[in-house]
Every structure is written in structure tokens, then in C-alpha cells.
Amino acid sequence: MGEWLDAETHVERAMQLTESSRWDEALAELDAALAINPNDVNGHLQRGRVLDELERPAEAIESYQQALSHPTHAIEAATWLGIDLIRVGRYAEAVKVFEELAAEEPGYEPAYCHRIAAYTRLGLHEAAEQMFYLAQQLDENCPDCFHHIAESLACRGLFARALYCWQRALEIDPDYPQARARIAQIYRLQGQSDEARAFYLSALRRDPGNVTLLVEMGELLLETGDTEAATAKFHQALELDPDAVQPRVLLGLLHLRDDRLDTAAAHLESAFAREPRFPGLATYMGLLNVRQGHYGQAHRHLTAALAEQPDDVTALLAMGNCLLGMDRCEEAEASYRKALQHQRGSALALHNVGVCRFLAGDLKGGIAYCRRALRHDPTNTAVLHKLAVALMQLACFPEAWEMIQRGLAVQPDHPELNRMARCFGRLKIHYSLVFFHRRLAAVVARLKQRLHPRRSHFRTSTGRQTG
């Protein structure tokens, strides 16, 4: 008898600890109680709730399944069980739990409400809408229902209806979690930056320690060109959660963009040490290593990135740059061409294929690709410069001069274009002579072939002639 009293004491102490959010201590008390009395259904139910607060839904599921055995707690346990099954991605099982619950309690609205969420994640949006209307018949002012159906509508791109439903959830419950963030996300997707910013700020006022909200707000600020404010948000996120990976990655990319390689490396390598499989991180590490000239490391990272995402254009372009740095020009060109298969209008990929053609001695091919790049990005000074150089080599002086002038109109302080403009007369004479000698050599070669056709054929067939 004393042991049972001890078990009840542990449960009571656990309940007191939960009131002050001391979840780990409460869990220890409940574990002690259940060690004494494993059949304490209320203890299992409370243990599940504490595990949910600790963000351990997979373990909470086991506790709720234990609590289901007692009719007094069956409805509550089944509800939390279904919700946690959704949280861990076991959607079909969640549907079954709620179906059984509705069969036993046809008027129990949560049995329909939470099925909306499960069906949404299964992609069964018609079934989700059906559940929404059934739930509405039982409770037309349930904010959870409006939230769940809004997610279904947003998945289908029905943003206006989704916004209405999230706004309706806020009318019912002004502090409804997630609604403001979701509205902000929809406005951001639609390019309505001011509206998105207002809802992010409103959400952060209610939940200032939310790292995800801070990062999303930072991303929005980046999209609107406010880099300084975005950087502050990412640093704030890291202060709240030093192990957060996403703000580290974003800070690393910002520093990489500004050519601050040491700082970029500190952030990206720290993120990689914490979560090497973070989406896109292998590509970013490859980009960093290419910029550092560490081509071996870059190749390893980019190979891993492309193994998981073969059509990652950023990784394909970085791999091309890496291979060029390793003097593997043909492989680099193949990588750039793969990037073009996935993004035909990429001026960068077209430019880089043009560079490979130039390195291979194919001036006309390089010029053709650079002209295509220029159609997609008419103000790209790197392309304009390379076109000017190649056209000079082919003695196409009027067009070369046009490229120089176009480049300087975009970037008046471009050093190479300025040098070409200052020395254009001398360069024109130099390249005229080069072009003349090249043409003369080609004429002489053709004459030799005509005068000695058999000998020429013999030398080619034995592999002695290389040109």
C-alpha cells in the first residue's frame, strides 16, 4: 500500500513541476511513479504530455498508447496520440486513430479537425476539405480547423483562400500560434514584402525568441536589399540558439558574396561540423573551397552535392570552376553544359562554356557562346571584355570597339576595358599582324597539301601530323 502512495506522490510532484515548466524534473518523477505502478494510466497520459513539451513526440506516442487502455482517458489519449503521429510523419496511422475515435464519439469535433492536417500531408486535399466541412457542423469557430485547411489551400497554391482562413483563425484566437508566420510567408511568396514584414514583426512581438521567425525575417530583409538588418537578425538568431545551422549558413554566404573568405569559412565550416547534410551546404562548401583555391576539397564537396542533387545548377557551375582550376578544361566544359541543360538561359553557364571554347583554341565557338550570354545579360562586363578580346584576335575591330564602349558604359572603371580603349590603335595594328600571319600560315598549309597530297595523307594516317 505504501508503494502505491509513493507512486501517487511522484505523480502529484510531477504535476506541480509542470506548472513551473520544469519538464525534465517532472519526467523523472513520472518515470519513478510508473516504475512503482506500471498500470497507472493517468501517469502514462501525463508522461506523454511532458514528452510533448520536451519535443519528444516519438516517445510520447508510446505513453499515449499505454494510456489508451483505460476508458476514462481513452478520448484524450487518442487525440494526443493522433496529433503526435502526424508530428512524426505517420499520417495514415493518425487517420486510422481519428476514424476510430469518430466512430466511438461521432460528435467529437477534434476527431474531424485533426484529420484535415493528416489528409493534407498525405496530399488528399479533397478528403481534407470534406473533414473541414464535417468539423464546421460541430464547431464553426474552431481556429485549428481554419489553420489546417489553410495549409491544404496553400499547398495547392490557393493563396487568397488560405489567407482568409488564417485571418479567420486570428479573429477567433488573436494569439493563435503559426497564423501570423504563415500569413507572412504567403505575402512573401507573392512578392508583397511590406505586408510580409508587418506580419513577421507582429509574430516576433508575440514570440521574440523564435529562431525560425528571425531567420525568415532576415531572409525577407535580404530579398528587399537590407543586408545590414538581415545580418543583425541572423546574429540575433545565433545568440538565442548557438547551435542553429541555418543562420550560420546564411551569414557564411553573405561573407562569401562580399569576398570575406576567412569569415565565410568560419561560419560555413561551423555549420558543416554541426549538420553536414544540411540542404545545399555541400555546394556552399564547394563554392568556398573554389574561391580559396582548395580544389581537392572543393571537388569532394561538389561530388557529394551532385550525387544527391544531379541537377543542382549552382553545384554544376562550381564544379566547372573547380575543374578549370585543376586544368581539366574538357571536364569543366562538360559540367557547364550540364548546367545549361537545366537552365538554358543561364548567362553564367553560357559565358563559362565560351571561356572553355577560348581555352580550347575555338575562338568562333567562344564568341558564339558569349554572344548568347550577352542576350540574357546585356550588361555583363566579364562577357563584354572577353568578346572584345576575341573579336580583336579575329580582326573584327568595329565590333570589338563596340564591346569595349558598352562595357565602359556599365563599369567606367573596368581596368582591362580601359586599357584596351587607351591602346586600341596599337592593339588593332598588333592583332592585324597576328591575323595576317595566321591567314598566311593557313594559305601556306593548304598549298603544301595540294602540292604533296600523298605525302600529306601518309603523315596524317601515321599520326605524325598534328595540325
Per-residue pLDDT tens digits for 256-280: 999 999 999 999 999 999 999 999 9
How far is 283 from 137, CA to CA, in rounded Å?
51
pLDDT digits over 291-344, tens only? 999 999 999 999 999 999 999 999 999 999 999 999 999 999 999 999 999 999
pLDDT value of position 168: 97
**Nearest in space to 104 (alpha carbons), one of 137, 144, 71, 145:** 71
pLDDT, residue 431, reads 64
Q: How far apart are CA 271 and CA 278, in angstroms?
A: 8
Q: 223 and 184 in contact (C-beta within 8 Å)?
A: no
Residue 174 three-state SS: coil
What is the average per-residue pLDDT within 109-132?
97
How far is the C-alpha of 90 from the C-alpha of 121, rounded, in Å? 10
142-178 tens-digit pLDDT = 999 999 999 999 999 999 999 999 999 999 999 999 9
C-alpha to C-alpha distances, 332 to 48, 296, 367, nearest whole angstrom:
55, 14, 18
> In 105-245, where does DSSP find H-type helix?
110-121, 125-138, 143-155, 159-172, 179-189, 193-206, 211-223, 227-240
Mean of the per-residue pLDDT values of the chain: 90
Question: Structural domain boundaries of the chain?
Answer: 210-275
d(CA 59, CA 354): 57
pLDDT(459) > 60? no
- Residue 126 burial (10 A CB sphere; 0-12, 13-18, 19+): exposed
Q: What is the dihedral of CA 310, 314, 316, 318, to 10 degrees?
A: -140
- 275 in Cβ contact with 267 (< 8 Å): no
The CATH architecture assigned to 210-275 reads Alpha Horseshoe (1.25)
Cell numbers linked to 257: 558574396
CA-based nearest residue to 324, from 372, 360, 288? 360
Cell digits of residue 186: 504567403
Residue 456 pLDDT:
39
Closest CA to 151 of 109, 105, 116: 116
**Which region among 69-83, 213-227, 311-325 has the lowest average model confidence (pLDDT)?**
69-83
Q: Is the pLDDT confidence value at 432 over 80?
A: no
Q: For residue 94, what pLDDT is reported?
A: 97
Would you say how long the chain is, in residues? 467
Residue 446: per-residue pLDDT: 66
Residue type for position 420: M
Interval 38-52: pLDDT, tens: 888 888 999 999 999
Distance CA 171, CA 154 (A): 19
Which pLDDT score is estimated for 424?
A: 79
Q: Residue 207: what residue type?
A: D
CA distances from 87 to 56, 57, 81, 94, 116 (A): 10, 7, 10, 10, 13
Please determine, for residue 467, whether its predicted confidence score (pLDDT) is greater than 60: no
Q: What is the pLDDT of residue 192?
A: 96
Res 458: pLDDT: 35
Cell of 360: 580550347
Task: Write out the three cell numbers for 448.
Answer: 603544301
* C-alpha cell at position 336: 557547364
- pLDDT tens-digit series, residues 358-416: 999 999 999 999 999 999 999 999 999 999 999 988 888 889 889 999 999 999 999 99
Nearest to 144 by CA among 120, 116, 123, 118: 116
| DSSP assignment of 302-366 | HHHHHHH-TT-HHHHHHHHHHHHHTT-HHHHHHHHHHHHHH-TT-HHHHHHHHHHHHHTT-HHHH
Q: What angle do CA 159, 163, 169 make, to 5 degrees?
A: 145
Q: Judging by beta carbons within 10 Å of its beta carbon (0-12, 13-18, 19+), is residue 361 exposed, middle or buried?
A: exposed
The yes-or-no verdict on residue 11 having pLDDT over 90 is: no
